[in-house]
Chains A and B, each alone.
Chain A
Amino acid sequence: MNFTENEIFGAALIGFDMIDGPFLKWKKEYDNKNKNVRLDDFAMNFYLAFRGGNESVKKPRAILYDNFYIVAFPRDLELCCLFMKPKDLENNISQLNKIASRIITEMENDKDDDNTKDSDENTIEEIERLIPNLLNGTKMTTPELRRYFKLSNSQIWKVMSDLENSNKIIRAGKKGRSVYWTAK
């Protein structure tokens, strides 16, 4: 990895208290102009991002955000985070975004194999409770919703029809053959 020390704009040591959990133990900001990260607010979230989950699960060494990245080095339960602002990240992200879009399109084309198991009645009721929340102030297509809930095509249409009939959701347009839905 090529970098210069100038790219480090901050460092933090996040400690861990057995009762209270992660806390910001120490911090140093090398570049006062950089207001990307409010360390006090995000220290605990960074800790979980790097250390969360079971010990057996692989942990990230670095996490890339919109315009900076963090590299973390664990020391027992503590975590030393270096906040980096690398050069040309915007361009790299834009290139990677194009690749990701291609992969998503590929997946969309392959997804028609409908081998999802039928969900039980209790799960369907829970889904009917969640969908109006999910569609509150936003629009989603039927296939998008189907993927969120691991439902079969026939099941998602049954759920959407029920919700439409009970006036909880309405149709908000079409995208190709897919219907957009939104909460009423």
Chain B
Amino acid sequence: MHGWWSDRRIGPLLGAAGVLVLLVIAGMTIYVTKVAWPSLNANGLRWFGPGGDANVQLQEIFSSREPFEYTLRAWPLVYGTALASGGAVLLGLVLSTLTAVFVVGFAPPALARTIEPVVRLLAGVPSVVYGLIGILVLVPFVGNHLISESRKESVYYVVQLSGQSLLVATALLTVMIVPIMIAIVVDALRAVPASWTEGAMALGVNRWRVLWTISLRAARPAIVAGAVLALARALGEAIMLAMVSGGVIFAPNPIDGVTFAFEPVLPLAAAIVQGAEGISVKPYGATLFAMAAVIMVSSVGLSIVGWAVRRRLRRFGAAG
């Protein structure tokens, strides 16, 4: 009776499902670009550049009548996205690599058996939960205890420091992406052929050096893959960042020293959430869709870069 389910039929059927996925992605890309076009077209590459106050520009876009105003210099948004997600991935890389090495090489089996499921569970916590913790606990704490009165005074004419800051955004993003990175690196370290590590041990090399020089090196493609995945998640994270990151478009200035970390940022995805109420105002909607297009293109670019790096690294290792 399995005549109907022959491979000859199933093959094209599954193929159709695959093609459908491609069509959906293509359709989405076309739609986003189409709606975003007036904004992209009016600004060109200057969209990514600095100039003027983006808060004022968005206000003018929102309230403009025909012919619509589209001028936006989104540099602070792009820079904010790069700072928050880049910082989180760098921190996450260090944290997750060290944790994974501990879990694989040093943790007593009982502890490792506890850490792993907990980490995987953490990876599934919805981001809005982190957002709530951020806004109800971290932001008031940072605003009232970490930022001194004199620090607030020092920049108050340019930006208000209320605790909604790059620091909180990056910290929460790190907590969000670390679990998935740990899971990936742990799997990769376990996949390193036992003969390699045992060979090194037989030569009298200690566990730390075996893990550091052999296992981690072999696992590099997987670490890159984890970082790319984490970066993509950080780029697209919107709700949590919209809740904790201050609601004002501002480019933190490294010259400010420590204050830099306490200055607010508004990443692109968070800016879309913030403005969602006004999405049916035509020029404003186009502007938000332009931000969405930029996020989409960067994610695709990231995947390609990740793939290229993995290909190069794979020549030196076995795993991944």
Co-assembled chains A and B: no
